Amino acid sequence: MVVYGTELKSRLLLGTAQYPSPTVLAEAIAASGAEVITVSLRREGPEGGAFRDLIAASGCRLLPNTAGCHSVTEAVTTARMARELFGTDWIKLEVIGHADTLQPDPFALVEAARILCAEGFEVFPYTTEDLILGEKLVEAGCRVLMPWGAPIGTGQGLRNIDGLRSMRAHFPDLPLVIDAGIGAPSQAAQAMELGFDAVLLNTAVAKALDPVGMARAFGRAVAAGRAAHEAGLMPRRDMAAASTPILGMAELG
């Protein structure tokens, strides 16, 4: 997968919040095989030196995010601070519009994306499967889209498969990353089988009984789903079709 000119071998992007300890976080990152990890500036704060040492030791590329921002001003200001602190133009852009579902505010999201892209940021927008919103984000300068599978932290998987399938068809050459709502490795594999380029998740690993084991499972599921997509899944049928042909069978009178 190539995103903003950077080639990534792993198609799993991993969040770094809510882990039971720094040691477990470090082990989970290693077990997942992820090359990109997200970090919230608002959560860590500018004095989080120990945390920055930990993520630096992981060898992963950082994707700072604007989690918790509810306005254009908040998101843009946080992105600028993240670039100064972490030394990267990458930013996962979140502008929350609904307190219960944590659905992005489409109007504020596009406005913030336009400002940040004009300032040289390489924006990864957290969005929905809405095609018009996707087009507006691309017009603003985004070169990747990150539609939700379900509301953040719910673990419900892909709630609108037809909509996500339409989005994949509508943007055939654009990297698309399922972001939010993934709760099980099987759901991550399903997203990859649909042709999405990657999966970003956090809670499903961080809150597992064994975060390290779950991180490893997700890494394998994402790889398996991608391999299945590339191999070509058989089409669904309305009628049964015998796998063993009738031709050549003995006739018993």
Query: Is 92 a residue of the active site?
Result: yes
Return the structure tokens found at 9.
Answer: 């071998």
Residue pointed to by tokens 């009984």: 209
Alpha-helix residue ranges (DSSP H) falling in the chain: 22-32, 41-44, 49-58, 72-86, 106-118, 131-140, 161-170, 185-193, 203-206, 211-231
CB atoms within 10 A of CB 47: 8
3-class secondary-structure state, position 250: coil
Are 165 and 144 contacting, i.e. CB atoms less than 8 angstroms apart? Answer: no
- Residue 202 counted as an annotated binding residue: yes
- Residue 15 counted as an annotated binding residue: no
Of the residues 9, 92, 136, 207, only one is catalytic, namely 92
List, as one string, the DSSP characters of 68-105. Answer: T--SHHHHHHHHHHHHHHH--SEEEE--B--TTT--B-
- Residue 180 counted as an annotated binding residue: yes
Binding residues: 153, 180-181, 202-203
Binding residues for 1-deoxy-D-xylulose 5-phosphate: 153, 180-181, 202-203
Q: List, by residue number, the catalytic residues.
A: 92
